[in-house]
Amino acid sequence: MNYFLKNRKFRWRREETLEQMYVLGVQSIPIIVVSLAFIGLMMILELAFHMRLVLKHDSLVPAFSAVLMVRELGPVITCLLLTSRIGAGIAAEIGSMKVTEQLDALKLLSIDPFDYLVIPRWIGSVFAALSLTMISIAVALGGGALLAAQKLGTSSGEYFNTVFFFVKFPDVLRCLIKAFVFGTIIPFIASYQGFSCELGSAAVGEAATQAVVRASLSIIIADFLLTYLFYAI
């Protein structure tokens, strides 16, 4: 942990950072957007079924689905999917750099591996978490509006009126705070696993697995703590 905390002079690495924003963010768009779109559709169906069963009407389905999507599922599912896509990759990349003495080569060139490898991935991951959360929520709501029109007979106008009535600016802000925190958790845990990886190819695989497991658990725990905090203030 001292390694992460010791005094350092950070250097802005434009090329590496832009590359990571592309690799971690842009290349993750398909899997995350498709997944969130289907989760959004599934949520409309489930909420409609249960609301009809218990409340005997489904007029609040758009409201509940949008609030749940913005407050919880949007940032959490997006970042869990992001963890499985990029967390393992970051840990394996840094781990194999350690095994093949590339980290030693960086240190020998007076290049701080933390500055060179972690900071660009952190910026790339936060960018990915924030932008993909927003994009996937928009896609999920759009898909929800189409399904609601088909299954519930709610017009798009009604759907979005209800959504914007219930989803307030603080909800969006909290969603972005969560995405920022989760987007920070992923590269730091994955990098830590990579840096502390033992030598050997099996150890690299283990570091990648541990990165996904620990980052996923940390995101779920952080989500609870943040939600608790948001309701407390």
Partner 1 sequence: MAYTDLDNEVVKVDAVTFDYSNAASPVIDQLTLALKKSEITFLIGPSGSGKTTLLKLLAGLLEPGAGDITIQGVSLKRANSSERRATLRKVAMTFQRSGLFDSKTVLENLIFPLQELNRLSFEKALAEAEKVLDLVELKGHESKLPHEVSGGMQKRVGIGRALALSPEVVFYDDPTAGLDPITSKNIIELIIQIQKENKTTNLISTSDLDLAVNISRKIASKIAFLFEGKILQIGTADEILGSINPVIHQFTRGLLEGPLTKGAR
Give the footprint of partner 1 on this chain (CB under 8 A). 99-102, 104-105, 107-111
Structure tokens at 79: 């970042």
Classify residue 152 by its DSSP letter.
Answer: I
Q: How far is the CB of 114 from partner 1 (least distance, A)?
A: 15
Give residue for tokens 């090329």.
15
Secondary structure (DSSP) of 84-105: IIIIHHHHHHHHHHHHTTHHHH
C-beta of 55 vs 105, nearer to partner 1: 105
CA separation for the pair 121, 127 (Å, rounded): 10
CB atoms within 10 A of CB 57: 11
C-beta of 6 vs 56, nearer to partner 1: 6
C-beta of 112 vs 158, nearer to partner 1: 112
C-beta of 109 vs 202, nearer to partner 1: 109
CA separation for the pair 165, 50 (Å, rounded): 22
Q: How far is the CB of 101 from partner 1 (least distance, A)?
A: 4
C-beta of 105 vs 217, nearer to partner 1: 105
Q: How far is the CB of 51 from partner 1 (least distance, A)?
A: 52
Q: How far is the CB of 6 from partner 1 (least distance, A)?
A: 11
Q: How far is the CB of 25 from partner 1 (least distance, A)?
A: 18
Q: How far is CA 90 from CA 106, 118, 128, 232, in A?
A: 17, 9, 14, 35
CA separation for the pair 206, 13 (Å, rounded): 29
